[in-house]
Amino acid sequence: MPAQEESPPDESNNDEKDPNLASQGIDDVDDLLAEMDADVVIDEPDEMILAKEAEEIIDLPDDESLGLFKTTSDTELGEDPVRLYLREIGEIDLLSIDHEFWLATRIEAARRVEVLTRVHPIARHGRQYSSSIYRALYDELVIGWKRLAEDTLRLGYDFPDLSMINAEARMLRQAWTIETPSYLRNYLDNGRWGVDHLWDQVAVNGLTVFICFYLFPEELARAIEKFFLTKHRMPSRNTFNNHLPAEEILLTELEDSEYRAQESRQILIRSNLRLVVSVAKHYLGRGSSFLDLIQEGNLGLLRAVSKFDPSRGYKFSTYATWWIRQSISRSIADQARTIRIPVHIFETFNRLMQSQRQLTQILGRLPTPEELAVEADFLDPKDKQLILTSKGNPNLLPPDVRVRWVHAAAKVGQVLRAAEEPVSLESPVGSEDNSMLGDFIEDEDAQEPMDAAAREMLREQVKNTLAVLSEREREVLEMRFGLLDGKDHTLEEVGQAFNVTRERIRQIEAKALRKLRHPTRSRHLRDFLT
């Protein structure tokens, strides 16, 4: 940026103190632009460029992503909220798998306390009963450790070290940024976690024991550990009750665990905002802006944090990606289209469009619904293999396969019709905006000009011919033949209208028709008979 000459101190100070001078300068620029008849265009950042910058932030290591926007001025960032947001999330450190496990365990512990609180209310009749929560936790500890011992013995593994579990839980109460690896997670991560159902039960019971030690006050947890190391079993209910602290101390412990859970939720959310941007950039060009996609993805991330179970054995990012995609896809289906279609139909339509593009490149033409049904997996694998073997010839297929193929093709047509985008009839056509799309659509109910003119001439001729009749005769014929409202009336209905018998109406009608059949009157109407 070229260097600017320094202004005298007194002048620069005067300009800063007098706001009228700044506004006067802006007015002068506006007047000059008005005289030049110039249009002021403010460039907005292209969303594909923003997505590219977001991808650079996500792919770079932490130390490089921190300085990605260092060269961008604060003024430019302030004008662009997306770039400012990308810069902020680029400064947040990523979490290790152990840190994710610890944060999720804190959240899960608070969730279990909330469930126990519904069964064992902490406050009753103005008194605190926090000890009931800890007695319930003690029952879970005893049952969890018993099942853990039985399952590990059945699978041929050594028992987990209770002292190591208690030491890790004690450190987790103090801070989640522990330098040493997680003993429990490494014990469970033996290649069978998330694959073997029996080992998954070991993980559930092991996490239960870990959470109980995490929620117990430190002195109580030490007493249980000491008793177990001495007696090689869990203490009895009476022994546990004797070591319970006062109600006030227990209530403080529960409040601290809830505070730590709230802190862990915020850290887990902020540390995975890059994941949301990484998923959102794949949904550009579907009717929603990049910032809206990020916001909807963040809602899915919040849902993932509230649902994540650390005992399942997978990383949080793997679990959260599904919720983020689900939230973004549902938002696009709900908001990006004028007429809302269900999410599953929208996803099926996207799959069809992808198959259609692939077949168009292969065939050199648009594929038929039957070809799309085979390519987009609308049929069972066996039926698909039979159709491919027969090279699409229906005569070579069994009748039941042929029927299922026809039904699948009909379903493809329904999805394609349901996902069609509506077009406004007032959409401008051409660059001049003088014509609208509705001007070029045929009105099937409209008459041809020649037919409309002939019909109008016939109407005028019939009116002139009926003028020679009496008023009653003309009204009877108009009602009998529906010349006014297009509806024919019976003799009975016309008789009731004139308060005479139907025979009298028949006589009046016959007399009027004889008058009209006279050659001097009927010849004017014969030209319209074709």
**Do 403 and 509 belong to one domain?**
no
The whole-number pLDDT of residue 107 equals 95
Residue ending a domain, choose from 390, 418, 446: 418
Coil, strand, or helix at residue 175?
Answer: coil
The answer, as to whether pTM is greater than 0.75, is no
Residue 53 lies in a domain: no
pLDDT score of 24: 41
Task: Tell which of 360, 387, 418 closes a domain.
Answer: 418
Output Rg (C-alpha) for the chain, integer angstroms.
41
Helices 290-307 and 247-270 sit at what angle, rounded to 10 degrees?
150
Mean pLDDT of 286-304: 90
Question: What CATH number did the domain enclosing 471 receive?
Answer: 1.10.10.10
Once rounded to an integer, what is the mean pLDDT over residues 414-421? Answer: 80
Q: What is the share, in percent, of the chain residues with pLDDT greater than 90?
A: 31
Q: What is the mean pLDDT of residues 79-105?
A: 86
Which range scores top for mean pLDDT: 210-214, 352-356, 367-371? 210-214
Residues 138 and 280 in one domain: no
Phi, psi of 128 (to 5 degrees): -90, 135
Q: Which is more confidently placed, 44 or 478?
A: 478
Residue 311 DSSP code = G
Is the pLDDT at 29 greater than 90? The verdict is no
- Same-domain check for residues 469 and 382: no
In this structure, the strands spanning 123-124 and 127-128 are: antiparallel
Same structural domain for residues 360 and 480? Answer: no
Q: Which domain holds residue 298?
A: 274-335
- Name the token pair of 250: 């227990």
Asked if residue 394 and residue 513 are part of one domain, the reply reads no
Report how far residue 485's alpha carbon sits from residue 487's, in angstroms, rounded to the nearest whole number. Answer: 6
Same domain, yes or no, for 262 and 406? no
Same domain, 393 and 261: no
Residues 378 and 504 in one domain: no
In a domain, 425, yes or no: no
pLDDT, one tens digit per residue, over 368-394 is: 999 898 888 888 888 888 888 888 788
Please report which confidence band the pLDDT of residue 10 belongs to, taking 50, 70 and 90 as the band edges.
very low
Residue 33 lies in a domain: no
The arithmetic mean of pLDDT across residues 249-256, rounded, is 90
Tokens 């009157």 sit on residue: 521
58 belongs to a structural domain: no
Lowest-confidence segment of 171-175, 334-338, 354-358, 518-522 by average pLDDT:
334-338
pLDDT in tens, 148-180: 999 999 988 988 999 999 999 999 988 877 778
Last residue within a domain, chosen from 271, 287, 322: 271
For 243, the token pair is: 């070591």
My answer on whether 350 and 292 are in the same domain is no
Contact assessment for residue 168 and residue 101, using Cβ atoms and an 8 Å cutoff: no
- Predicted confidence at residue 489, as pLDDT, reads 87
User: In Å, what is the CA distance from 365 to each residue of 359, 360, 371?
Assistant: 8, 5, 12
Residues 103 and 246 in one domain: yes
428, β-bridge pairs: 436
Domain contains 81 = no
CA angle 261, 264, 266 (to 5 degrees): 115
Phi, psi dihedrals of residue 122, rounded to the nearest 5°: -70, -40
d(Cα 128, Cα 247) in Å, to the nearest integer? 7
CB 320 within 8 A of CB 301: yes
One domain, residues 143 and 219: yes
The top-scoring range by mean pLDDT among 105-109, 125-129, 351-355 is 105-109
Q: Is the pLDDT of residue 27 over 60?
A: no
- Does residue 267 sit in the same domain as residue 299? no
* Mean pLDDT of the chain, nearest integer: 80
Residue with tokens 């020649």: 450
Cβ 122 vs Cβ 130: under 8 Å: yes
In a domain, 436, yes or no: no
Q: Could you give the number of structural domains in the chain?
A: 4
* Model pLDDT, residue 306: 92
Task: Calculate the alpha carbon distances from 516 to 484, 489, 524 in Å.
Answer: 18, 20, 10
Residue 152 lies in a domain: yes
In a domain, 66, yes or no: no
